[in-house]
Amino acid sequence: MTTPLDALAEALRECRKYASGAEAPPEAILWCDPGREFAPILPALRARLPNLLSFGVYEPSTRTGPALWLRAAAARQVAGLAWAEDEPALLYLPGHGRDTLRGAEDCPAELAPLVWFAVAGSFFGQPKQTRDWTLRGFLAAQGSPVGLDIADDKATREALCRAASRLSAEPIEALKGRRLDAIALDGLLVPDPVADMLRWMDGTLTPEADPERFNAFASLATKQMGFDPRKRSPQDAAARLAKREKGWAKVWDRFEEANGAYEEVVKLLRLEEPQSLFEGQDAYPSIIARGEQELRQALLALVNTTPEKAAATLMDLEERHGWRRDTVWAKRGEARLAQALEHLAVVAQPPAVGAPNAHDLAETYLTEGWKTDWAAMRALDIARTGEDREAVTAAVRAVYLPWVDAGAARLQALAAEGGVAFAQPTKPSAASSRSALLFVDGLRMDLAQQLAALLHARGAAVKISWTWSGFPTVTATCKALVSPAAGFGKVVI
């Protein structure tokens, strides 16, 4: 797998070749880069070419120094620098062209010590044209050792400089056959511009932290979304995000997929309000918050209403507020009352408790009644503290307590009439060889149904049945009835 970086390193090595019968070996290779276009690739090249030295402010860690230092280093007179004996020094001169060194009388004093290498060394550049390579030229011009198809316009040249480091590491075979324009090149630096828009709004992608990536992202955002982060603010972006027009719908989808886990973006959206009735309401946390407050007040107001009116009110509230459960704000825990309302609506429609006999009363509870108990517990579990707890408790008392009381009264009436066959001490049936008996104290029917659902989901065959408890329904009586000793001897109740 050959990359443009491999090709560049090999081309630089090739410069050491000379006609041994007619020429002396070059004392140094001069690599002039007037536009500094190859600068982003230098760090990767230094790791491959220990003889690569750069002109600039003295910095030994990057093998960079002024002209006199380069002259001494090329002669192998600088301690700590070493490379293969048959390799001449490669002198990278950013910001300067070969014509500067060839005209000794016009050469700046800072480069004068290197003029000698224009005679005793070799230049790295386009073959047969005595010109310095540009980045695009090396990658795409006639005679290029890479041979890519790169557009030749201003935007593409700017994008090429931004993406130079990333492009140089791509396999050449993967790049050939593609038309590389500004969008394609910026796409190498910003493979996910949608996510980068959120990162920019969140403050984690900044021009100070990563200028090349930011500029590539800004260029793509301008072309694809009509929004230039270099000229607009994150708050401007939040307004576009909330409206979700055109390309912003993808940004919103990504925000939702992350469950709104961009806190700075959330803060920006909290400052936005819809500008018309035709906008989606679910993008605005302020609307969600106002909905929660309205619902809280409505639930608290159920304290002094009849069960029938409370039930009707809950169903109406469910119709008006249920949509907030499906928003990203609910996933962030900002619509707890709307979530609790789903269960309160179940509590508001309990099964009737006026069964003609005890068996039918029990069967009704086995199939439907337990759902009311479960819904009440779920609603209370969602709203555990503060005003939300008070509001849900008020709703539960308004519709659940009357149903529980009516069911208890009906059971008591049937028991008083002798219609309830309370359990008597009996010897437990023998368990099969492949069974286990698990006794759970206080396993409510709603919990039993949840346990059955979990077991069923794991492939188990589950059957739920019921029997009347002992009487009175206290521990001292009922535990004895399910004990392995039940039925042995005489038990007096």
DSSP of 455-493:
HHHTT-----------SS-SHHHHHHHTSTTTTSS----
Dihedral pair phi/psi, residue 87, rounded to 5°: -105, 120
pLDDT(195) > 90:
yes
Amino acid at position 19, single letter: A
Could you tell me the residue ranges of all domains in the chain? 4-140, 190-272, 285-416, 423-429+437-493
Amino acid at position 348, single letter: A
Q: What is the pLDDT of residue 75?
A: 93
Q: What is the mean pLDDT of residues 485-489?
A: 69
Angle at 15 between CA 9 and CA 16, to 5 degrees: 110
| Strand-by-strand arrangement of the 28-33 sheet | 64-65, 52-55, 89-94, 28-33, 122-123
CA 53, CA 62: separation in Å to the nearest integer? 8
Q: What is the pLDDT of residue 492?
A: 52
Q: What is the pLDDT of residue 237?
A: 97
Q: What is the mean pLDDT of residues 86-107?
A: 87
Q: What is the mean pLDDT of residues 133-154?
A: 91
Q: What is the mean pLDDT of residues 48-74?
A: 95
Q: What is the mean pLDDT of residues 285-304?
A: 97
Which of 369-378, 429-438, 456-465 bottoms out in mean pLDDT, i.e. has the lowest? 429-438
Give me the sign of the Cα torsion angle 46, 47, 48, 51: positive
Give per-residue pLDDT as tens, 161-194: 999 998 999 999 989 989 999 999 998 888 999 9
CA 82, CA 71: separation in Å to the nearest integer? 14
Which of 98-112, 269-283, 332-346 bottoms out in mean pLDDT, i.e. has the lowest? 98-112
Give per-residue pLDDT as tens, 347-380: 999 999 999 999 999 999 999 999 999 999 999 9
pLDDT(493) > 60:
no
Q: What is the pLDDT of residue 485?
A: 76
pLDDT(129) > 70:
no
Nearest of 246, 259, 245, 247 to residue 197 by alpha carbon: 247
pLDDT(271) > 70:
yes
Q: b/e map of 66-80 (b: 16 or more CB within 10 Å)?
A: ebebbbebbeeebee
Give me the sign of the Cα torsion angle 30, 31, 36, 39: negative
| Average pLDDT score over the chain | 91
The one-character DSSP state at 413 is H
Q: What is the pLDDT of residue 201?
A: 97
Q: What is the pLDDT of residue 280?
A: 85
Q: Which residue has the tokens 């555990």?
A: 384
pLDDT(104) > 70:
no
pLDDT(488) > 80:
no
Q: What is the pLDDT of residue 484?
A: 73
- Answer whether 15's CB lies under 8 Å from 54's CB: no
pLDDT(100) > 90:
no
pTM of the model: 0.75
> 130: pLDDT confidence band, cut at 50, 70 and 90?
confident
CA 375, CA 365: separation in Å to the nearest integer? 14
- Answer whether 229's CB lies under 8 Å from 200's CB: yes
Q: What is the pLDDT of residue 19?
A: 73
Q: Which residue has the tokens 């982060």?
A: 229
Q: What is the pLDDT of residue 16?
A: 87
pLDDT(266) > 60:
yes
pLDDT(134) > 70:
yes
pLDDT(228) > 90:
yes
Query: Which tokens sit at 32?
Result: 């002039």
To the nearest whole percent, how much of the chain has pLDDT over 70? 97
CA 50, CA 45: separation in Å to the nearest integer? 9
> 150: pLDDT confidence band, cut at 50, 70 and 90?
very high
Q: What is the mean pLDDT of residues 448-455?
A: 94
Contacts of 447 (CB under 8 A, 6+ apart): none
